[in-house]
């Protein structure tokens, strides 16, 4: 089921794990935006690029904007990704393959 309040897919026949309620649950529609994952800004930008290249309908939000990143650096910002229900499987596999790839250099050494 889909909680239209939290934009979250939920396990069948149980309340939404986020808001704890059932009154906004309904069957998901193809164009419902569903919460996919939360990533920091660096991977979030990469993921957004991959989604654009693969025609995934998505949106993302940054819960904290502006001053956090300017003080502590962009890595503290989290992007929350939402994708259309019809693109959810594709988005998941794209995200999996992106995060499965090793960020370390090809020769296996981490550069200083």
Contacting residues toward Zn ion, per CB under 5 A: 3, 5-6, 16, 18-19
Which CB, 3 or 94, lies closer to Zn ion? 3
Nearer to Zn ion, 38 or 40 (CB): 38
Q: Measured at CB, which residue is nearest to Zn ion?
A: 16
Residue 4 beta carbon to Zn ion: minimum distance, rounded to whole angstroms: 8
- Min CB(1)–Zn ion separation in Å: 10
Q: 43-50: long-range contacts (C-beta < 8 A, 24 or more apart)?
A: 43/98, 43/99, 44/77, 44/78, 44/79, 44/81, 45/79, 46/98, 47/79, 47/81, 47/94, 47/95, 47/98, 48/79, 50/94, 50/95, 50/98
Of 19 and 68, CB closest to Zn ion: 19
């Amino acid at each position: 089921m889909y909680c239209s309040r939290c934009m979250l897919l939920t396990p069948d026949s149980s309340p939404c794990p986020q808001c704890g309620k059932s009154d906004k649950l309904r069957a998901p529609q193809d164009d419902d935006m569903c919460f996919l994952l939360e990533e920091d800004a660096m991977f979030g930008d990469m993921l957004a690029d991959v989604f654009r290249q693969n025609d995934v309908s998505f949106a993302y939000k940054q819960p904290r904007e502006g001053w956090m990143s300017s003080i502590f650096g962009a890595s503290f910002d989290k992007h929350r990704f939402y994708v259309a229900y019809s693109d959810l499987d594709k988005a998941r596999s794209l995200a999996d393959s992106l995060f499965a790839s090793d960020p370390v250099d090809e020769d296996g050494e981490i550069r200083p």
